[in-house]
Amino acid sequence: MNIPQHIVLFPDGNRRWAKNKGKKPFDGHLAGYKNLLKFGEWCKKKGVKVLTAFGFSTENWKRSDQEVKYLMKLFEIGLLQSLKKFKKDNVKVKIIGQKEKLPKSLQRVIKKIESETANHKDLHLNLAVSYGGKWDILQAVKKIIEEKVPAENINEEMFDQYLSTAGLVKPDLIIRAGGEMRLSNFVLWQAAYSELYFSPKLWPDFNEKDLDLAIEEFDLRQRRFGK
């Protein structure tokens, strides 16, 4: 079977899942985070090398202060509690997005996690926090301008190296749970030739069999890249 080397994940539907079960939205976010950790294990077991997961978008800052604070604390506590497992499973963790906008305590945790997992090889986990596809493109453009790169030297391959995902293979498969069918301003440049897979399942209900179905569908597709 043709296994995607880089999977992008939209873990969508946490709040709807909680509402359907008569729970608080925060319970849905917690269940979603726990399922993301499981998803990483499944990917690693199947031979996936890179997983990029949407955690918090640039647009999510518009949510209530209470929800934003909860999510920031969830990232902070969740990452710290998961560090031992990341080390055990040889997972490299990187946070992509506007790190400078995050709470200082979370920034410190991110530095610790990234430093202590930097040499791990079995799975590269990108967690997108305060990330947006348009932001990623704009920050790349700004860096290129700051470095005064001559226009004749700018091409797609060079531009790739200024994005948050620099050095990684491009996404092969994008999986979105929750029934929505759009990219929602995520990895816009990187997704140019990615295969898209949409699942009606709300994220906390998404299981390993659902991942198998997505990979089986990916295996059946013919990727021509415009040829």
- Catalytic option among 12, 136, 172, 210: 12
Whole-number Cα distances in Å, 102 to 109, 116, 132, 165? 11, 20, 14, 19
Task: Give how many domains the chain has, as a whole number.
Answer: 1
Is there a binding annotation on residue 184?
yes
The domain spanning residue 20 has which CATH number?
Answer: 3.40.1180.10
Q: Does the global pTM surpass 0.75?
A: yes
Q: Do residues 102 and 72 make contact, with C-beta atoms less than 8 angstroms apart?
A: yes
Q: Tens of pLDDT along 62-95?
A: 999 999 999 999 999 999 999 999 999 999 999 9
Residue 117 resides in a domain: yes
| 160 is a catalytic site residue | no
Residue 148 resides in a domain: no
Residue 213 resides in a domain: yes
- Catalytic option among 60, 160, 185, 205: 60
Say if residue 17 is exposed, middle or buried (CB neighbours under 10 Å; 0-12, 13-18, 19+): buried
Residue 139 resides in a domain: no
Q: Which two tokens stand for residue 143?
A: 């860096």
* Per-position pLDDT tens, the chain of length 227: 899 999 999 999 999 999 999 999 999 999 999 999 999 999 999 999 999 999 999 999 999 999 999 999 999 999 999 999 999 999 999 999 999 999 999 999 999 999 999 999 999 999 999 999 999 999 999 999 999 999 999 999 999 999 999 999 999 999 999 999 999 999 999 999 999 999 999 999 999 999 999 999 999 998 877 76
| 12 is a catalytic site residue | yes
Residue 151 resides in a domain: no
Residue 181 resides in a domain: yes
Residue 142 resides in a domain: no
Q: Do residues 91 and 44 make contact, with C-beta atoms less than 8 angstroms apart?
A: yes
Is there a binding annotation on residue 63?
yes
Domain carrying residue 208: 6-132+166-220
Residue 79 resides in a domain: yes
Is there a binding annotation on residue 97?
no
